[in-house]
């Protein structure tokens, strides 16, 4: 094995920085990024931190998981906006897991579904290349958009998840998406009372991917297979 003193100075410095970074990473809490829009940003809630993403952090802590949740959700964001923001987020936080909750605004604005499909696929590809696991979260649009379009819209998430082999939460709003009392006055954003239900919709898909402190990434890889298997 080469001794450090025989290496060129720049090479030795690179090895020192790289090894030092590895040690820092090993001591840090694994990061979970939620890349979303207003549904994950807590729009219209009295306390946005009490939205489903904030509740996710609380549940992880209660159950002994070491993960730190980073809410990178912006109200009004689209799949294009999320794609543009992603590289910097990956560089800054180096997440072990990325939860993608985007596309609702694409649908509400009538943007092309092909562009949504391509953007979501690119998000998955970039995150995976950076070493992150990915969960896609689908959204059912309000019924006034028409049955045919609503189903085609949902089908985009299903197709990307299948083509890329990633776990899918079929509908973040499942169980109350057509309940007017569960929505704020705009009939788009959920009230405080159903934020726990939103988390419950995500949790079964997320749980197999969580690696408790001290366990290897092999368990997380097996978790991806289990999470996808739940969809088949």
Look up 47 and say whether it is catalytic.
no
Look up 189 and say whether it is catalytic.
yes
189: left (phi over 0), alpha (psi -120 to 50) or beta: beta
Residue carrying structure tokens 């009939």: 187
Annotated catalytic residue: which of 22, 27, 185, 186?
A: 186
d(CA 44, CA 64): 30
Residues 6+ apart with CB under 8 A from 98: 32, 33, 35, 90, 123, 127, 132, 133, 134, 135
Look up 38 and say whether it is catalytic.
yes
Q: Long-range contacts made by residues 173-181, C-beta under 8 angstroms, separation at least 24?
A: 173/39, 173/139, 173/140, 173/198, 173/201, 174/140, 174/201, 175/201, 177/140, 177/142, 178/143
64: left (phi over 0), alpha (psi -120 to 50) or beta: left
Annotated catalytic residue: which of 37, 38, 67, 73?
A: 38
Annotated catalytic residue: which of 75, 80, 182, 189?
A: 189
In 72-173, which ranges are continuous DSSP H helix? 79-93, 104-108, 113-129, 147-164
| Pairing status of strand 168-169 against strand 97-101 | unpaired
Q: What is the SS3 assignment for 98?
A: strand
Annotated catalytic residues are 38, 186, 189
């Amino acid at each position: 094995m080469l001794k450090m003193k025989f290496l060129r100075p720049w090479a030795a410095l690179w090895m020192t920085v790289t090894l030092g970074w590895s040690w820092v990473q090993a001591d840090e809490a694994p990061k979970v990024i939620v890349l979303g829009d207003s549904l994950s940003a807590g729009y219209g809630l009295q306390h946005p931190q009490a939205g489903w993403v904030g509740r996710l952090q609380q549940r992880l802590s209660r159950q002994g998981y070491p993960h730190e949740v980073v809410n990178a959700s912006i109200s009004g964001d689209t799949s294009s906006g999320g794609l543009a923001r992603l590289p910097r987020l990956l560089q800054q936080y180096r997440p072990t897991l990325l939860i993608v909750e985007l596309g609702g605004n694409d649908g509400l604005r009538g943007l092309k579904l092909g562009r949504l499909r391509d953007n979501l696929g690119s998000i998955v590809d970039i995150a995976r290349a950076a070493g992150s696991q990915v969960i896609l979260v689908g959204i059912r649009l309000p019924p006034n958009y028409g049955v045919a379009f609503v189903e085609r819209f949902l089908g985009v998430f299903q197709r990307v998840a299948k083509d890329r082999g990633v776990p899918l939460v079929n509908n973040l709003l499942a169980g109350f998406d057509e309940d007017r009392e569960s929505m704020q006055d705009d009939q788009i954003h959920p009230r405080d009372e159903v934020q726990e239900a939103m988390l419950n919709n995500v949790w079964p898909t997320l749980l197999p991917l969580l690696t408790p402190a001290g366990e290897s990434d092999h368990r997380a890889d097996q978790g991806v297979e289990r999470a996808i298997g739940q969809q088949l």
